Amino acid sequence: MHPLDTPKLALVMVGLPARGKTYIARKLARYLCWLGHPTRVFNVGSYRRERHGSRHPAEWFSPSSKEGERLRTEVAMEALEDMLAWIRGGGRVGIYDATNTTKARRRRVQERCEREGLKVLFIESICTDQSIIDATVRETKLHSPDYVGFAPEEAVRDFLERIGHYEGVYESLDDETQSYIQLIDVGRRAVCNRTQGYLTARLVFFLMNLHITPRPIWLTRHGESVHNVRGLIGGDSPLSYRGELYAQALAEFVKNRAVDGLTVWTSALRRTVDTARPLGMPTLPWRALDEIDAGVCDGMSYAQIQKELPNEYSARSADKFHYRYPRGESYEDVIQRLDPVIIELERQQNPVLIIGHQAVLRALYAYLMDIPGEECPYLSIPLHTIIELTPTAYGCQEKRLRLEPEAVLDEPSGDSPEKEFVR
């Protein structure tokens, strides 16, 4: 289904503070944007800080504070109206990131969204694990603008008091007429109610595989192949001598890291399988990780395509993201087939090494680094380089390491066709 064929959707977050709502909202936005559904998060806390500042004592969040209640309601409704205006202007999925702790508030939000013709899905984050709550408070909330300049102990005390005010009025989702997903302890358990529909079903599956365990994700292209040397795109050629040296260097890198429980994925093509062989460990080949299908251009050189298929060359130059090789694929197609890889990658709690191809790794890198899919064709994923990405609460930390010995493995002059055309 094309993204623009899906109904417009409002995702309404529900939950007490420090339950990971913003983390979940941002993960959802990143996933949906990557799949081609224009999505934006509207965080009510950001509106509150922008309109009324950040230095509010916990008592300001108490239901007994009439002034605090009035001002917080005003900014909540402002954020909601901005979300609806954005959707009217062409957005597809708006994520309303707020506590929405009472049934009355949720009914108000739902009725307003439905008057705009939106489907509403509530997403409630419930946490019963105190260790997760404590970690969330210290790792994220204490670094928020609300607590700049506070001593850690004072900030913790104030924030826990703020949570207590919300707990006093909190009502969990239990309306059988509403569409909702309840996530308990960051995906340990999920409860779904009235979650029919193509996009909603994908979101359920995605959310059920989320976790907050930090682990490195290594992305690397296969070693240089014989087709790289000959200037041909696609195919299923073996590694060149330089490619074999890179495979050995990669194995040494992994050995020196001595990581426990490493999972290694390759494509089903020979050049990635050969690159993984010196690792001496089990690997999982995925056809979903195969390089972009060049169709009738498979096995041709860059110069041949420019000479023999000038219209194709021009069409690709005009729109590299949407351009589809005749009887082949586009970058947009590659992203759609990588969806199950992303779900499995989110599920993994151990380190993962993915040995792949340039177009595919560009798409995965775009997802992990929250880069719009349209920018995929221009991302730098060079040969013989490891990209280490470590997911954090709201993004990824990145390191790059070039492995090949320069004296032996200097880059050849000229453009590599896989880098310059099949991308």
pLDDT digits (tens, 9 = 90+) for 384-418: 999 999 988 777 899 999 997 554 444 443 333 33
Long-range contacts of 419-423 (CB under 8 A, 24+ apart): 419/358, 419/382, 419/383, 420/302, 421/233, 421/302, 421/305, 421/316, 422/233, 422/234, 422/291, 422/292, 422/294, 422/297, 422/358, 422/359, 423/292, 423/320, 423/358, 423/359, 423/362, 423/377
Pairwise CA distance, residues 422 & 14, whole Å: 44
Local structure of 163: helix, strand or coil: helix
| Predicted pLDDT of residue 5 | 61
Q: Which of 152, 185, 208 is the last residue of a domain?
A: 208
Domain end among 208, 238, 258: 208
119 with 253, same domain?
A: no
SS3 of residue 336 by DSSP:
helix
255 and 138 within one domain: no
| Average pLDDT for the chain | 90
Q: In what order do the strands lie in the sheet with 93-97?
A: 39-43, 93-97, 9-14, 119-126, 180-184, 189-193
Please tell me whether residues 22 and 171 are part of one structural domain. yes
Tell me, yes or no, whether 188 and 55 share the same domain: yes
Least confident of 204-208, 359-363, 372-376, 409-413: 409-413
Range of the domain at 108: 3-208
Regarding whether 286 and 178 lie in a shared domain, the answer is no
Three-state secondary-structure class, residue 327: coil
- What CA–CA distance (Å, rounded) separates 321 from 338? 15
CA triple 85-90-92, angle to 5 deg: 90
Nearest-angstrom CA–CA distance, 289 and 270: 12
How far is residue 256's CA from residue 288's CA, in Å, rounded to a whole number?
29
Q: Are residues 230 and 197 in the same domain?
A: no
Q: What percent of the chain has pLDDT over 90?
A: 75
Tokens of 276: 């993984």
Shared domain for 153 and 292, answered yes or no, is no
Shared domain for 160 and 243, answered yes or no, is no
* 217-264 tens-digit pLDDT: 999 999 999 999 999 999 999 999 999 999 999 999 999 997 889 999
Give the chain's domain count: 2
In the beta sheet, which residues pair with residue 286? Answer: 267
Q: Are residues 383 and 302 in the same domain?
A: yes
**pLDDT tens sequence across 302-353:** 899 999 999 999 999 999 999 999 999 999 999 999 999 999 999 999 999 9
Residues 272 and 392 in one domain: yes
pTM for the whole thing?
A: 0.89
Q: What is the pLDDT of residues 109-166, one digit of tens each?
A: 999 999 999 999 999 999 988 887 887 777 766 677 888 888 888 888 888 899 999 9
33-54 exposure pattern, b = at least 16 Cβ within 10 A, e = fewer: bbbbbbbbbbbbbebbbeeeee
How many helices (H) and strands (E) are present in the chain, helices listed first?
Answer: 16, 12
Measured distance CA(235)–CA(217) in Å, rounded: 27
Residues 55 and 97 in one domain: yes
- Mark which of 184, 208, 232 sits at the end of a domain: 208
Residues 224 and 96 placed together within one structural domain of the fold? no
Beta bridge partners of 43: 97
Residue 360 sits in a domain whose CATH number is 3.40.50.1240
- Which positions are annotated as active-site residues? 97, 127, 222, 291
CATH number at residue 116: 3.40.50.300
